[in-house]
Structure 1
Amino acid sequence: MTLTQLEIFSLVAELRGFTAAATRLGIGQSAVSHAIKSLEQELGVELLRRHQSMVELSDIGQQLLLRARAMLGLANTLRQEAADARGMRRGTLRIGSFGPTSSMKLLPGILRRYRALHPGIEVHIDEGPDRQVIQWLDERRIDVGFVVLPEERFDTFMLMEDQMVALLPTAHPLAAQASLNLKDLCNDPFVHTEAGSSELVTRLFNAARLTPNVRFRCSQLLSTLDVVRRGEAVSVVSEGSLPDDENPGYVARPLSPRVPRQIGLAVLDSRQASPATLAFIELARQS
């Protein structure tokens, strides 16, 4: 069993195909097939079930995938510790990001400084909803992720705090109020943003034993803002995710009582984090 075999197996499982994995790795499909076949023969189990248009993991393949990713993560850490001794001239950093707050406001500035200091580190960024970043951390598909705090099962590092706000069309009867409570938002159609702090919004309503009248579900914040701007719904989003716009076409009002939101970075275990990961966290905390 080699690390190359494990890397190929992990990528085939992620992309659900031999051709896609071969393209990503820049090798022939026959080489991918040979690596998987050799790994299965050595382990004596079927890792992948082949179908006409795709492959899927077997039950034992799903279990071994987590182990394979853990081994690949450890191997990457070892490489980067060696690179650290050489001035971190080489290495890889995989970052998970969600929503405008991290992807558009926090990450660009951190990355500019990071790339200036560590140009040899190859950076990969995956974007998805906050719950998906958590899943990527659990599955070891990323080294570090932006998360909404608290997240007790990870080692976390706080970066910023803002607050959750209600979004209303400018002509809404409640737009003149200085603040709003969640109950005020249950009488109108509600638009729920799947990106960003969607889990936090859901928890807020559940904790208050309230059910918003969800009529829209948008994958991007810009779509949510457009729905509110047209007067079709109200919403709850984070203040820090809103774009800087003098005439946004909607109004944002703080929730009462105030609902703070903390954004930070999370890793599975900071003691096993690679030098490239720790350097990124340190820069982020200084920003």
Structure 2
Amino acid sequence: MTLTQLEVFSLVAELRGFTSAALRLGISQSAVSHALKGLEQELGVELLRRHQGQVELTDIGAQLLQRARAMLGLADTLRQEAADARGMKRGTLRIGSFGPTSSSKLLPALLARYRLAHPGIQVQIDEGPDRQVLQWLEERRVDVGFVVLPQERFDTVALVEDQMVALLPAGHPLCEQPAIELKALCQDPFILTGAGSGELVSQLFAAQRLVPDIRYRTAQLLSTLATVARGEGVTVVAEQSLPEHPDPGYVSRPLSPRVKRQIGIAVLDRRQVSPATQAFIDLAGRFDYR
């Protein structure tokens, strides 16, 4: 069994295809097939199954994928520790990021400082909803992820705190109030976004046994903002996620009582992180986000 075989297996499973994995690795499709066949023969089990042009993991393949990713992560850590001894001139940092808060507000300045200090480290960024970032951390697909705290099953570092706000069409009667109760938002069509803090918003209503009149479910925050600006509904979003120059078609108001949200970074186990990841954690923890 070789690390190359494990890398091929992991990538084929992630991309669900031999051709796409071959293109990513820069090798031929036959080389990918040969590596997987050799791995399966050595282990004595079928890891992947082709069905109607799709590649699917077998049950044992899904189980062993977690082990393979752990081994690849350890190998990468060993390489980076060696690179650290040489001045950390090489290495890879994989970051999971969610929504405008981390991708647009926090990450750009952090990355600029990090790349200046460690120009030899290759940075890869995957973006998705916050729940997906948690899954990527558990699957070891990313080294560090931006998350909404608390997250008990990870090692975390708190970075910034913001609050949840009600978003109303300009001219809405509730705009006259300095703060908005959740129950007041149940009188209008409600827009629930699947991005960012959509799950947190649902939990807030459920905790007060309130049922908003959900008329729209949007995948992107920009769609949510545009729908509110057109006067088609109200919503609740994180204040940090709002653009620096908001659309005059909507107005934000804090919730009553106020609901705070803390953003941090998380790793699966801080004792096992690579030098490149540790350097990012150290920088993020002391960075001035104002």
TM-score of Structure 1 vs Structure 2, range by shorter chain: over 0.9
- Rounded to whole Å, the distance in 1 between the matches of 2:86 and 2:246 is 49
Counterpart of 2:41 in structure 1 is 41
> Is the CA contact (8 Å cut-off) linking 2:191 and 2:218 kept in structure 1?
yes
- Measure how far apart 1:203 and its partner are: 1.4
Counterpart of 1:69 in structure 2 is 69
> Is the CA contact (8 Å cut-off) linking 1:154 and 1:267 kept in structure 2?
yes
Counterpart of 1:262 in structure 2 is 262
- TM normalised by structure 1 equals 0.98
Percent of residue pairs identical: 75
Counterpart of 1:280 in structure 2 is 280
Quote the RMSD (CA, aligned, Å). Answer: 0.9
Structure 1 residues 248 and 122: CA distance shift in structure 2, 3 A: same
- Measure how far apart 1:247 and its partner are: 4.9
Deviations 1:201-222 (A, max 9, x none): 1211111111211111111111
SS for the counterpart of 1:271 is: helix
TM alignment of 1:9-158, pairs within 5 A: 9-158=9-158
TM alignment of 1:224-235, pairs within 5 A: 224-235=224-235
> Is the CA contact (8 Å cut-off) linking 2:229 and 2:247 kept in structure 1?
no
Deviations 1:107-162 (A, max 9, x none): 00000011111111110000000000001001110000000000000000000001
> Is the CA contact (8 Å cut-off) linking 2:180 and 2:255 kept in structure 1?
yes
Gaps of 5+ in 1: none
Structure 1 residues 139 and 227: CA distance shift in structure 2, 3 A: same
Counterpart of 1:6 in structure 2 is 6
- Rounded to whole Å, the distance in 2 between the matches of 1:160 and 1:248 is 27
- Rounded to whole Å, the distance in 2 between the matches of 1:87 and 1:207 is 51
- Measure how far apart 1:52 and its partner are: 3.3
- Rounded to whole Å, the distance in 2 between the matches of 1:247 and 1:51 is 48
- Measure how far apart 1:173 and its partner are: 1.4
* Corresponding pairs, count: 287
Letter in 2 for 1:11: L
Letter in 2 for 1:162: D
Q: Is 1:216 the equivalent of 2:233?
A: no
- Rounded to whole Å, the distance in 1 between the matches of 2:247 and 2:167 is 14
- TM normalised by structure 2 equals 0.97
Gaps of 5+ in 2: none
Counterpart of 1:245 in structure 2 is 245
Letter in 2 for 1:196: G
Mean alpha-carbon deviation: is it higher for 216-225 or for 242-251?
Answer: 242-251
- Measure how far apart 1:95 and its partner are: 0.2
> Is the CA contact (8 Å cut-off) linking 1:130 and 1:198 kept in structure 2?
no
Moved over 6 A (4+): none
Letter in 2 for 1:133: V
- Rounded to whole Å, the distance in 2 between the matches of 1:76 and 1:172 is 54
- Rounded to whole Å, the distance in 1 between the matches of 2:23 and 2:51 is 19
